[in-house]
């Protein structure tokens, strides 16, 4: 009989090509349908597939003298750029020919099979690897079921791909390029014996499957084809490296790929983001998420948990119990193995039966994990497996991984769990099963047995109580997760998941209740703050979040302002903050009286925030010492620290100096309204002159500084190259102090851009205008006129300035080219002062962009002059006239200027300026005309509901508006509601109508 392809020589070329393409088309269809993982997730393989981290593995180095770092993290055995899944089969840059035999290794559950099926799916879709005409995929677990003892390559193809009935010519043709994929070498029951197998060169000769594979790998059979094999690392040794052209390794997900997985699995972006937040905040989950199988388990559990939290109105902050995640992962690993055996045996096994069959093996591995944990060890060896009677297949199942330790002469096999968290889980599982199944407590020592009262019956309560004591005593934290898992395993709900492993369910609700009480009692004791977090996590595993919920409610209603929280409540607050779904940016604990113990308990959460406000928290010097110790941590993210009004003295300045020198992140420090004094400032200045100091903004206002401090501060301004803003308001300065400061401001080495000198006249007559002399402003004016001055902002509020002072200021701002912000608030300016300043503001050389004139005794008459300024000046963007009695007439004068195209104003402050409904329409019409205003403050005036319509129209039509403040006017509740209803329509506008 003439075979189908042999007939081609008798047929026209076009017919031969058509037959070839028909055969290929059929093959593509069959391959697509055979991709189990892809078809089960068939929405869109491309959209569902998260990229894996794949690297070129230097296997030769490992086999011939290299050593691999011991540890429990992911092992990176090569350097350079990662490969995409399509590049596994593509020659590296500079390599001319394609690789013939490629091995891709990876632990169980890391994504090897999915990677294979994704590649086949995309090749069949025509998007990748067009150089291959045919791809044939053989999972080893299916090869195990082959009935024939001997089989040829042609028969193998025809057995699994019946449509390839006539394929001899494909195999021998040099013009047809084929790829053979063998997935899961570790699952093969056929040994690969490269030393003793006879060579075979005939694709039609039946030989043993093992011999067929070795000859195919060697290139004896079908030498023009390529071979790709996937395997767990332990099984790779069956193939000599001399037959392998390339070794790659799948290492799972790196950080960005973990996020990509959740986003691709869930179309609901908000749900995916919540899952990523939980994963990042729960440090016991994130490490194992490099394994796709763990991500899959976690996402399933989180989806249910997050929906439950929302249903019960608990928000997004709720922590997730981790014990069910690890147990589900364990079951998933075994189920993944079992599926291959079920295919071979043709029978399905229940999860309970599966766990029952694995019970002894799990307990043996658990005992090894427990003893390693007690010894604080991570690595174990082959002799340990024998000693503990641990099944080697369990170690290779994806729970552990092999390490190569030593060199070519002394190398020996070593193992560790894929992550330390999994070791702690198995240790806890062993203790739980030991007690539950045989009433044996592995934690019990001879000494602890003596302390157990005779009348006390051995119980799970005693097991957890002892574990709790050991955990708290442990300074390195190696038993923290162990205790957490031990608590979680004992819950009634979780015992249902362990059916098959446990032989009885004698852990009763009474025991769980007492364990909760013991944990809460420990929280009241003097224990390290990180241990408090561990105990709260244990309570969460036991499904008790009452302490956290009560503390959150207390914080929400502000009750802590009237009392100090207990140590346990502070720990609960720290735990709630850590698990919050919100971004950890600003934490405001202002006006809460926080004890030293309370602050210590909050430390585990504080260093996660970028900004911490503790204004008026009565910390005292001891509190700063605690913060200093916290900021030693390399994990500390704090960039802004506000400690205003905290009873600080010079005694805490050594700790503050340490913070300034050693914190790489801190850029803003507010120490205003304390009592640091000259002695404290001297210590701080030494730190500020250190080249490691990175501070940019420093507030030292009202700190009892005298003339002695200014020379130190001046030396800082000349030496420090990062400080840009300094506030020394409300401190004794005097003319001598100001002259000293002026020398630094005119020095080209000084980089200061903003200087706060508010309220410096109240403590020293003779400064900035006084009853005796008026030299202060002359000194500052001289500084501003100096071309070397770099100041961009100057604050001179509450300084009793006089008419002469305003003339000096006006003269300076005409000449100065850098000053953009000037604060003259709380000075008496009146009409005479405005007239002088207005002339300077209308000068084309004036560069001011922001002018604050709050509480400066302005009248409606002043507004006419200011209106002229607004029309003329082309740089002014911010004007604050709050707390002046401008009245409707004054604002109407301003409105005339505000509607002019030449007016460039964007921010206008008119808070508490005696305005009524009479000026409303004219004001909002003017602002609507130019559409430039972004921030408008009209709070604390006398607007009524009669103006509501005008305000609503303005809010809806002003395109650039970002913030409008209308609180503390005379609106009724209905009027306030009418304005608030605009918020959903104008989501980009912040509308404030109620007092906060």
Contact 875, 905 (CB under 8 A): no
User: Confidence band (pLDDT; 50, 70, 90) for 993?
Assistant: very high
Residue 726: name the closest of 763, 751, 692 by CA: 751
- Examine the pLDDT at 560 and tell me if it is beyond 60: no
pLDDT bucket at 312, cuts 50 / 70 / 90: very low
Nearest to 571 by CA among 519, 607, 533: 533
With 60 as the cut, is the pLDDT of residue 769 above it? no
Structure tokens at 522: 């420990």
What does the block give as tokens for 665?
A: 């992140």
Contact 179, 136 (CB under 8 A): yes
Question: CA 960 to CA 463: how far, in whole Å?
Answer: 65
Higher pLDDT, 373 or 21: 373
Q: Which domains does the chain have, with CATH numbers?
A: 6-67+74-250 (3.40.50.300), 255-320 (no CATH), 347-541 (no CATH), 545-670+678-685 (3.80.10.10), 705-827 (3.80.10.10), 828-996 (3.80.10.10)
Residue 555 has pLDDT above 80, yes or no: no
- How far apart CA 166 and CA 174 sit, in angstroms, is 17
pLDDT tens digits, one per residue of 189-232: 877 888 887 888 888 899 989 899 999 999 999 888 999 999 98
Banded pLDDT at 824 (limits 50, 70, 90): very high
d(Cα 677, Cα 531) in Å, to the nearest integer?
38
DSSP characters for 846-914?
----EEE-TTS---HHHHHHHHHHHHH-SS--EEE-TTS--HHHHHHHHHHHHTSTT----EEE-TTS-
Cβ–Cβ < 8 Å for 164, 232 = no
- Which of 933, 928, 864 has its CA nearest to residue 905? 933
Which tens digits make up the pLDDT trace of 855-876? 999 999 999 999 999 999 999 9
Query: What pLDDT does 789 receive?
Result: 92
What is the per-residue pLDDT across 665-713, written as a single tens digit (0 to 9) for each? 999 999 999 999 999 999 999 999 999 999 999 999 999 998 889 999 9
Instruction: Classify 320 as helix, strand or coil.
Output: coil
Does residue 604 contact residue 629 with C-beta atoms inside 8 Å? no
Of the given ranges (292-306, 645-659, 890-904, 917-931), which has the lowest mean pLDDT?
292-306
Q: Is 312 exposed, middle or buried (0-12, 13-18, 19+ CB in 10 A)?
A: exposed
The answer, yes or no, to whether residue 133 has pLDDT greater than 80, is yes
Closest of 625, 635, 634 to residue 605, by C-alpha: 635
pTM, full prediction = 0.76
How much is the pLDDT for 877? 96
Q: Which of 136-140, 569-573, 819-823 has the lowest mean pLDDT?
A: 569-573
Neighbours of 666 (CB within 10 A): 21
pLDDT for res 966: 96
Among 30-44, 276-290, 420-434, the minimum mean pLDDT is found in: 30-44
B/e letters for 460-473, b = 16+ CB within 10 Å, e = fewer, are bbbbbbbbbeebbe
- Which one-letter DSSP state was computed for residue 103? E
- Which has more confidence, 102 or 97? 102
Mean pLDDT of the chain: 83
The Cα 671–Cα 463 span in angstroms is: 49
Q: In what order do the strands lie in the sheet with 400-405?
A: 380-381, 412-417, 400-405
Residue in the structure block whose two tokens are 């894929």: 418
CB atoms within 10 A of CB 633: 12
The alpha carbon torsion through 184, 185, 187, 192 (nearest 10 deg) reads 160
Q: Determine contact, residues 900/929, Cβ cutoff 8 Å.
A: no
The Cα 944–Cα 488 span in angstroms is: 59
Please check whether residue 857 is in contact with residue 884, taking contact to mean a CB–CB distance below 8 angstroms: yes
Helices and strands per DSSP (H, E), number in the chain: 40, 26
């Amino acid at each position: 009989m003439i075979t189908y392809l042999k007939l081609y020589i008798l047929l026209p070329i076009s017919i031969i090509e058509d037959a070839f393409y028909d055969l290929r088309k059929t093959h593509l269809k069959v391959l697509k349908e055979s991709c189990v993982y892809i078809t089960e997730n068939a929405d869109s393989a491309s959209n569902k597939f998260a990229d894996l981290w794949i690297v070129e593995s230097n296997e030769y180095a490992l086999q011939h003298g290299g050593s691999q770092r011991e540890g429990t993290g992911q092992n990176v055995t090569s350097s350079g750029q990662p490969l995409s899944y399509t590049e596994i089969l593509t020659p590296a840059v500079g390599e001319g020919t394609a690789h013939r035999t490629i091995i891709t290794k990876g632990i169980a559950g890391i994504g090897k099979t999915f990677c294979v099926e994704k590649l086949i799916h995309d090749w069949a879709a025509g998007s990748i690897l067009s150089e291959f005409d045919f791809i044939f995929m053989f999972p080893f677990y299916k090869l195990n079921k082959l009935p024939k003892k001997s089989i040829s390559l042609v028969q193998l193809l025809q057995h699994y791909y019946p449509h390839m009935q006539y394929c001899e010519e494909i195999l021998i043709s040099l013009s047809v390029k084929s790829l053979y994929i063998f997935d899961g070498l570790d699952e093969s029951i056929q040994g690969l014996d490269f030393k003793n197998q006879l060579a075979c060169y005939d694709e039609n000769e039946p030989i043993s499957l093992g011999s067929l594979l070795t000859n195919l790998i060697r290139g004896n059979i079908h030498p023009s084809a390529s071979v790709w094999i996937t395997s767990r690392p332990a099984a790779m040794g069956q193939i000599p490296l001399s037959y392998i052209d390339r070794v790659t390794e799948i290492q799972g997900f790196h950080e960005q790929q973990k996020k990509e997985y959740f986003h691709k699995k869930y179309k609901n972006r908000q749900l995916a983001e919540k899952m990523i937040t939980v994963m990042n905040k729960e440090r016991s989950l994130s490490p194992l998420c490099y394994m796709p199988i763990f991500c899959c388990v976690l996402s399933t559990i989180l989806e249910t948990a997050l929906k439950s939290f929302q249903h019960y109105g608990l928000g997004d902050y709720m922590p997730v119990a981790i014990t069910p995640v690890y147990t589900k992962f364990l079951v998933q690993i075994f189920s993944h193995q079992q599926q291959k055996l079920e295919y071979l045996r043709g029978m399905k096994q229940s999860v309970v039966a599966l766990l029952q069959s694995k019970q002894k093996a799990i307990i043996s591995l658990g005992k090894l994990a427990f003893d390693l944990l007690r010894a604080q060890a991570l690595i174990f060896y082959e002799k340990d497996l024998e000693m503990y009677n641990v099944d080697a297949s369990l170690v290779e199942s994806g729970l552990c991984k092999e390490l190569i330790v030593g060199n070519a002469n002394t190398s020996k096999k070593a193992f560790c769990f894929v992550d330390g968290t999994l070791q702690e889980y198995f240790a806890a599982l062993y203790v739980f099963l030991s007690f539950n199944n045989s009433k044996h407590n592995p934690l019990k020592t001879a000494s602890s047995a003596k302390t157990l009262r005779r009348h006390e019956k051995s119980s799970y309560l005693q097991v957890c109580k002892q574990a709790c004591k050991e955990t708290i005593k442990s300074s390195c934290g190696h038993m923290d997760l162990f205790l957490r898992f031990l608590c979680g395993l004992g819950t009634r709900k979780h015992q249902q998941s362990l059916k098959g492993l446990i032989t009885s369910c004698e852990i009763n609700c009474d025991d769980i209740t007492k364990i909760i009480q013991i944990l809460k009692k420990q929280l009241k004791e003097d224990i390290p703050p990180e241990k408090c977090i561990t105990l709260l996590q244990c309570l969460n595993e036991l499904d008790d979040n009452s302490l956290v919920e009560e503390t959150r409610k207390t914080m929400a209603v502000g009750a802590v302002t009237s009392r100090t929280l207990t140590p346990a409540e502070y720990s609960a607050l720290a735990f709630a903050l850590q698990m919050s779904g919100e971004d950890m940016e600003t934490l405001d604990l202002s006006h809460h009286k926080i004890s030293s113990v309370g602050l210590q308990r909050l430390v585990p959460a504080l260093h996660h925030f970028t900004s911490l406000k503790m204004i008026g928290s009565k910390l005292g010097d001891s509190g700063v010492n605690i913060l200093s110790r916290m900021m030693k941590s390399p994990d500390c993210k704090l960039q802004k620290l506000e400690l205003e009004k905290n009873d600080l003295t010079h005694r805490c300045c050594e700790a503050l100096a340490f913070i300034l020198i050693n914190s790489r992140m801190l850029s803003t420090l507010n120490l205003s309204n304390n009592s640091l004094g000259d002695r404290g400032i001297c210590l701080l200045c030494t730190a500020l002159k250190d080249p490691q100091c990175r501070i940019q903004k420093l507030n030292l206002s009202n700190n009892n500084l005298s003339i002695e401090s200014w020379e130190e501060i001046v030396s800082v301004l000349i030496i420090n190259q990062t400080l840009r803003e300094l506030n020394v308001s409300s401190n004794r300065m005097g003319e001598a102090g100001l002259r000293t400061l002026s020398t630094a401001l005119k020095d080209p080495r000084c980089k200061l851009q903003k200087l706060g000198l508010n309220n410096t006249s109240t403590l020293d007559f003779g400064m900035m205008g006084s009853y005796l002399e008026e030299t202060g402003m002359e000194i500052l004016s001289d500084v501003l006129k100096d071309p070397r001055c770099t100041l961009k902002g100057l604050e001179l509020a509450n300084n009793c300035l006089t008419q002469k002072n305003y003339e000096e200021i006006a003269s300076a701002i005409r000449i100065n080219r850098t000053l953009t912000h000037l604060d003259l608030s709380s000075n008496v300016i009146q009409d005479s002062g405005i007239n002088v300043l207005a002339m300077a503001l209308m000068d084309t050389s004036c560069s001011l962009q922001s002018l604050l004139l709050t509480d400066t005794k302005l009248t409606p008459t002043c507004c006419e002059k200011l209106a002229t300024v607004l029309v003329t000046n082309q740089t002014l963007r911010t004007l604050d006239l709050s707390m002046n009695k401008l009245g409707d007439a004054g604002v109407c004068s301003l409105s005339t200027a505000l509607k002019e195209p030449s007016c460039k104003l964007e921010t206008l402050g008119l808070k508490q300026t005696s305005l009524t409904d009479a000026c409303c329409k004219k004001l909002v019409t003017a602002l609507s005309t130019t559409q430039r205003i972004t921030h408008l403050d009209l709070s604390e005036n006398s607007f009524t509901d009669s103006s509501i319509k005008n305000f609503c129209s303005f809010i809806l039509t002003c395109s650039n508006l970002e913030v409008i403040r209308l609180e503390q006017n005379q609106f009724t509740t209905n009027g306030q509601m009418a304005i608030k209803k605009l918020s959903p329509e104008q989501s980009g506008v912040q509308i404030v109508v109620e007092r906060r």
